[in-house]
Chain A
Amino acid sequence: MIQTDPDSFVQGILDGNRRIIAKTITLIESHLKEHQQIAFTVMERILPHTGNSIRLGVTGVPGVGKSTFIENLGVFLADKGHKVAVLTVDPTSQRSGGSILGDKTRMEKLAAHENAFIRPSPAGGTLGGVAAKTREIMLTCEAAGFDVILVETVGVGQSETSVASMVDFFLVLMIAGAGDELQGIKKGILELADGIAINKADGDNLTAVEKTKGDLEIAMHLIRPESPTWSTPVLTCSSITEGGTKNIWETVLDHRKKFSASKEFKQRRKKQTLAWMWTLVEDGLKQRFKNNEKINEEIPVISQQVENEKISPTAAAEKLLSYL
């Protein structure tokens, strides 16, 4: 029962109607052209109402406690009167196409909180990846009045790079002493981090946490900070003992304050908007290439020629591209 009238969507979003927000997200995620077109119209109309939130990305390898951390931070903020939207992405099985979306089982209190909205999305076979969709969903939530947006990604693969390029603060969660010091998180991700937090800093774990913290601080010294006003701090937090969550939020606010003062905040958002445009251009180009009839006709012929070494791959690619 998806309506097709963009007006009712725009109004519903601005009114903060949960049902309509959820339906809009479904449209954004839909693979159908007509749904995407409605979503496009709606996005254009709500754009003036977006941008007024703190966008926080949270990443980390599976088992690091992302969902529980978001539950704690989310409830902490929602209790303070913030309106908190949480967007999570769950992996999709390549074989069956189905997904299990279980994040809310670990965000029990937040899921029931008046001031919260949580939407898990299947990674799916979305063209252009999760990123473009997540960004539009984020804007929808902003237009609906949510002033803190938490985006959770699984810290393996491509998704964190794209999430880092759409948030104001990118937080990397880690745990102490699990194997090698960087736990499979690539150095590249630490470069993207605005903050690192070592989770599960409680009980018997504290000594190990302190050691990991020291190691990470040394590692972070070797990475030249991108910003003149900010060097990535290494923090600790725990779902059992209090304090860590609050501390992390204060760090996020401090970052915002410093970045606003130095005008880096605006620059970063501008840069991200431009980057988004280029992502869309790339997706569009790929899409056009795939849908181009002439190209589809020529692909088997030219492929054959390349296989038989009649023409070089370079020449073949050039020829295919010339049909665009």
Chain B
Amino acid sequence: MAISMKKFMPKMRIEEVAARRQARIDQGTDVIVGVNKYQIEDETPLSVREVSEEVRDEQVARLVQIRKDRDNEAVQKALDDITRACESEDNLLAVCLPAVRARATIGEICDAMEKVFTRFVATTQCISGVYAQESADSEMIESLRKRTADFEKKTGRRPRILLSKMGQDGHDRRVKVIATAYADFGFDVDLGPMFQTPEEAARMAIENDVHIVGVSSLAAGHKTLVPKVIEELKNQGASDIKVVVGGIIPPGDYEFLKNAGAAEIFGPGTVVTDAANRTLNIIGA
């Protein structure tokens, strides 16, 4: 198992299963009550507790205060001990405790370890062909493939979309499903690294010269990150690149995002082929 983990085999399998299941949900062969069967017509919107931007500022202020009040010399010593323990393979818990007591942050403790262990970067490998394979609705897929092929004939290249995960949001299984499905429909799909900043996402969109940026948001960052990426695109001279949003977006936020300039929003329960068609509408395909 350890070897297969190293080779990311379980992760790939999970993603493959997710893409297949999505195809079955989209066709209604797998039933999820309320999502693709027995939907409620006039569902009363859930009230969502919103965490405001101020919370972040408060946290930052607290952190600044802690760093000011603590004995920074002691912190540094404790952190150096951690780095040394990593080098000599000593008990890490024993050296972490004094660091925590001296009020070192988790981030600082990680940095101290990173010096020796280096940073783990998950390689993003993406499966392809799975969604189309599982989907029995080949007519729909063929019509999407025709649309992307016609777009290429008309404009000289395939519709190109950057799928981006921004901010502290590590949930990338969904975005991989979208990537593999869109590629199956004939899109050129750029996959961004995790934890991108809006600046980085905008720059990548520009360098790769995509038509659309698809922001995948599953950790409630959309109200900050989507307007920021739209603004960044504008700042970097690319306001013609359209932005769409997908993921867990409460219906109450749709208007806010549209006003901020999002061209389409694909909330929970969106059928992927439908999302692809609407994405193509935006760029006039």
Taking beta carbons and an 8 Å cutoff, which residues of A are in contact with B? Answer: 1, 18-19, 21-23, 25-26, 29-32, 35, 68, 93, 95-102, 104-106, 108, 111-112, 117-120, 122, 124, 240
Contact = CB atoms under 8 A, between A and B. Distances in A.
A19 B207 CA distance: 7
Interface string B114-129: 0000100101111011
Contact of A23 (B124, B191, B209): B209
A290 B182 CA distance: 32
Nearest to B141: A96
Given A98-B183, A104-B190, A105-B192, 18 more contacts: A1-B240, A22-B207, A22-B209, A30-B155, A30-B157, A31-B152, A31-B156, A97-B158, A98-B148, A98-B158, A98-B189, A100-B126, A102-B126, A102-B179, A102-B190, A104-B204, A112-B203, A120-B208
Interface residues of B, number: 44
State the main secondary structure of chain A at its contact with B: mixed
Given A19-B236, A104-B193, A98 B121 contact: no
17 contacts: A1-B240, A31-B153, A31-B156, A31-B157, A32-B155, A68-B123, A96-B129, A97-B186, A99-B158, A99-B183, A100-B189, A101-B208, A102-B190, A104-B190, A111-B204, A120-B208, A124-B158
Contact of A118 (B186, B191, B207): B207
What 7 pairs across the A-B complex have the smallest Cβ distances?
A30-B156, A32-B156, A105-B124, A98-B183, A22-B209, A102-B191, A108-B193
Interface in B219-264: 236-238, 240
A119 B126 contact: no
B12 to A, nearest CB: 12
B208 A119 contact: yes
Contacts of B190: 101-102, 104, 120
A26 B179 contact: no
Nearest to A108: B193
A314 B190 CA distance: 47
A22 B233 CA distance: 14
B237 to A, nearest CB: 5
Contacts of B158: 97-99, 122, 124
Contacts of B149: 97
A100 B179 contact: yes
Contacts of A120: 190, 208
Given A31-B152, A102-B126, A96 B145 contact: yes
B80 interface: no
Contacts of B148: 96-98
Identify the interface centre among A23, A29, A93: most chain B CB within 10 Å of its CB.
A93
Given A93-B129, A98-B182, A35 B188 contact: no
Contacts of B157: 26, 29-31
Nearest to B183: A98
A31 B238 CA distance: 23
